[in-house]
């Protein structure tokens, strides 16, 4: 049994707390069945933290996140906070967390469960069996580059500025994660950028090419422009194994990949940093979706991306492979036989709520 792991839960805003409630039921199951014992704490983040403390991430919450063995996050943002100053928006809290935890490699697996091949927006044959891994650089690129801001020009016009910046080291470290993952999969990495129009993209391509030659000669490397990659994901997604890309392109391409699997509500993620002196790797886990204001409070959000993020946490931070497998298998069984939340609604299947999806999942887990 895995004992005394410190886990910080940060549910956030909108559907974040709703889906986190279902992940907590899975945590309870793990503890009740003596598979693990956790010291669980919870902290506000995003809009909820702005309402309580005036900032999207307090120093105390950040300190707890840094001290935890892993962080499970929900989602942040919503129209209520759209007018707060830009640097303290809910989303700034999330970016600060990722950056302060130095979690640079965001693993976004897009897997199609057999029962959901028909829920994809593509024809079932194009997606059945799909299993791709998008590795998104998560603490660099245009979301963090300087200079940035909105300035007023002498003629009264305004100018909005963001800057794409990548250094050799930033590209190498995320590239290594992608190559290493590929070795455990189909041994193929597709590196995605816009080397045709952006110097940061050209450097990305050069660094990836050199990295492959020097450290990963056994792994196949291809390069693709990001716009073509979006098209290829919609045309023939099974051509990909591991995709490695920067922060902005990874954000966009993973939302597209989510729809191949049936819903944004299904895609989990793990964001990992480098091993520290004590051998610990910081791990931050979150669904790829946002706070979904259009459905928040209605009890209809799909909780499976959050639950699958918990499974990734067990797998990557606590080496609890069997328990992670058990949760993923239970999700698969639920999708094969239970009702569906509205985002993956299917003819002949009852439409169920977030908590009913949680009930079905817990019933499957208890049956093990
Ligand atoms: N990691 C995070 O916390 C993220 C936060 N955001 C924030 O969330 C807010 C809303 O952003 P949107 O662009 O609307 O993206 P979103 O991901 O929140 O929602 C996009 C669409 O997907 C649906 N959806 C998302 N998750 C779902 C789930 N679990 N079950 C069923 N349907 C689901 C929503 O109902 C909506 O129609 C904004 O404030 C945005 O900044 C957006 C993306 C990520
Ligand atoms: C705050 C945003 C960068 C969140 C987002 O869309 C994401 O990480 O996927
Ligand atoms: Mg996103």
| Number of the ligand 2 atom closest to the C-alpha atom of 288 | 9
Whose Cα sits closest to atom 2 in ligand 2?
91
Q: What is the mean pLDDT of residues 283-296?
A: 98
Query: Crossing angle, helix 304-317 and helix 321-337, to 10 degrees?
Result: 160
300: containing domain = 2-120+262-366
Work out the burial of residue 250: count CB atoms within 10 Å of its CB; fewer than 13 is exposed, 13-18 middle, 19 or more buried. buried
Query: Is the residue at 143 inside a domain?
Result: no
Is residue 338's pLDDT more than 90?
A: no
User: What is the rounded CA–CA span in Å between residue 17 and residue 9?
Assistant: 10
Query: Is the residue at 253 inside a domain?
Result: no
Is residue 3's pLDDT more than 90?
A: no
Residues 6+ apart with CB under 8 A from 300: 341, 342, 353, 354
Q: What is the mean pLDDT of residues 278-300?
A: 96
- The CATH number of the domain holding residue 42 is 3.40.718.10
**Where do runs of H (alpha helix) occur along 135-225?**
168-183, 199-215
Query: Is the residue at 94 inside a domain?
Result: yes
51 has catalytic annotation: no
Q: What is the mean pLDDT of residues 313-337?
A: 96
How confident is the model at residue 279, as a pLDDT?
Answer: 87
User: What is the rounded CA–CA span in Å between residue 55 and residue 43?
Assistant: 13
Give the count of beta carbons closer than 10 Å to the beta carbon of residue 39.
12
The beta strands (E) that lie in the chain are given as: 2-12, 36-42, 70-75, 105-111, 131-137, 149-152, 158-161, 188-193, 220-225, 242-245, 270-272, 283-285
Catalytic one of 143, 166, 285, 316: 143
Q: What is the mean pLDDT of residues 308-313?
A: 98
Q: Is the CB of 93 under 6 A from ligand 1?
A: no
Work out the burial of residue 179: count CB atoms within 10 Å of its CB; fewer than 13 is exposed, 13-18 middle, 19 or more buried. buried
| Number of the ligand 1 atom closest to the C-alpha atom of 255 | 17
Whose Cα sits closest to atom 14 in ligand 1?
292
Whose Cα sits closest to atom 6 in ligand 2?
251
Query: Is the residue at 191 inside a domain?
Result: no
**Percentage of residues in the chain having pLDDT higher than 90:** 94
Question: pLDDT tens-digit profile of 19-68?
Answer: 999 999 999 999 999 999 999 999 999 999 999 999 999 999 999 999 99
Q: What is the per-residue DSSP string for 237-282?
A: GGG-SEEEE-HHHHHHHHHHHHHHHT-GGG---EEE----TTS---
Is 79 known to sit in a ligand binding site? yes
Query: Is the residue at 59 inside a domain?
Result: yes
Query: Is the residue at 237 inside a domain?
Result: no
Contact assessment for residue 68 and residue 7, using Cβ atoms and an 8 Å cutoff: yes
251 has catalytic annotation: yes
User: What is the rounded CA–CA span in Å between residue 232 and residue 200?
Assistant: 22
What ipTM is given for this predicted complex? 0.99
Query: Is the residue at 168 inside a domain?
Result: no
Q: Is the CB of 295 under 6 A from ligand 1?
A: yes
Question: pLDDT tens-digit profile of 26-35?
Answer: 999 999 999 9
How confident is the model at residue 355, as a pLDDT?
Answer: 98
Q: Could you tell me whether strands 220-225 and 188-193 are parallel, antiparallel, or unpaired per DSSP bridges?
A: parallel
Catalytic one of 96, 111, 194, 212: 194
Domain count, the chain: 1
Q: Is the CB of 193 under 6 A from ligand 2?
A: no
How confident is the model at residue 346, as a pLDDT?
Answer: 85
Q: Is the CB of 294 under 6 A from ligand 1?
A: yes
User: For residue 5, what are the β-bridge partners?
Assistant: 38
Is 255 known to sit in a ligand binding site? yes
The alpha carbon of 177 and the centre of ligand 2 are apart by a number of angstroms equal to 20
The alpha carbon of 248 and the centre of ligand 3 are apart by a number of angstroms equal to 9
Question: pLDDT tens-digit profile of 65-82?
Answer: 999 999 999 999 999 999
Q: What is the dihedral of CA 235, 166, 248, 212, to 10 degrees?
A: 30
Is residue 1's pLDDT more than 80?
A: no
Is 124 known to sit in a ligand binding site? no
Query: Is the residue at 126 inside a domain?
Result: no
194 has catalytic annotation: yes
Q: Is the CB of 91 under 6 A from ligand 2?
A: yes
Question: pLDDT tens-digit profile of 93-126?
Answer: 999 999 999 999 999 999 999 999 988 989 999 9
Is 318 known to sit in a ligand binding site? no
Q: What is the mean pLDDT of residues 239-256?
A: 98
Question: pLDDT tens-digit profile of 197-206?
Answer: 999 999 999 9
Is 83 known to sit in a ligand binding site? yes
């Amino acid at each position: 049994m895995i004992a005394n792991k410190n886990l910080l839960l940060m549910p956030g805003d909108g559907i974040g707390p709703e889906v986190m409630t279902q992940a907590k039921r899975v945590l309870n199951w793990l503890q009740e069945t003596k598979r693990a014992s956790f010291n669980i704490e919870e902290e506000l983040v995003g809009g909820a933290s702005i309402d309580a403390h005036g900032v999207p991430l307090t120093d105390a919450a950040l300190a707890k996140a840094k001290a935890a063995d892993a962080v499970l996050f929900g989602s942040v943002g919503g129209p209520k906070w759209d007018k707060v100053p830009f640097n303290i928006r809910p989303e700034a809290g999330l970016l600060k967390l990722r950056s302060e935890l130095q979690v640079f490699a965001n693993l976004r697996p897009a897997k199609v469960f057999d029962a959901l091949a028909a829920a994809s927006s593509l024809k079932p044959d194009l997606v059945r069996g799909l299993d791709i891994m998008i590795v998104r650089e998560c603490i660099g690129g245009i979301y963090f580059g300087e200079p940035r801001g909105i300035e007023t020009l002498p003629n009264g016009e305004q100018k909005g500025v963001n800057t794409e910046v990548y250094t050799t080291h930033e590209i190498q470290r995320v590239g290594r994660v992608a190559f290493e993952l590929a070795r455990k999969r189909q041994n193929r990495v597709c590196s995605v950028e816009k080397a045709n129009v952006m110097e940061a993209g050209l450097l990305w391509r050069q660094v990836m090419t050199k990295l492959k030659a020097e450290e990963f000669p056994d792994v196949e490397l291809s390069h693709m422009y990001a716009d073509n990659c979006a098209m290829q994901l919609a045309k023939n997604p099974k051509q990909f194994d591991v995709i490695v890309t920067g922060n902005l392109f990874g954000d966009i391409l993973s939302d597209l990949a989510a729809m191949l699997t049936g819903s944004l509500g299904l895609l989990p993620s793990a964001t990992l940093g480098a091993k520290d002196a004590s051998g610990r790797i910081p791990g931050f886990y979150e669904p790829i979706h946002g706070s979904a204001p259009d459905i928040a409070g209605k009890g209809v959000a799909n909780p499976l991306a959050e639950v699958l993020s918990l499974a990734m946490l067990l797998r990557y931070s606590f080496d609890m492979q069997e328990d992670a497998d058990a949760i993923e298998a239970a999700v698969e069984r639920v999708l094969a036989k239970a009702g569906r939340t509205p985002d993956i609604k299917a003819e002949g299947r009852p439409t169920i709520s977030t908590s009913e999806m949680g009930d079905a999942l817990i019933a499957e887990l208890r049956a093990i």
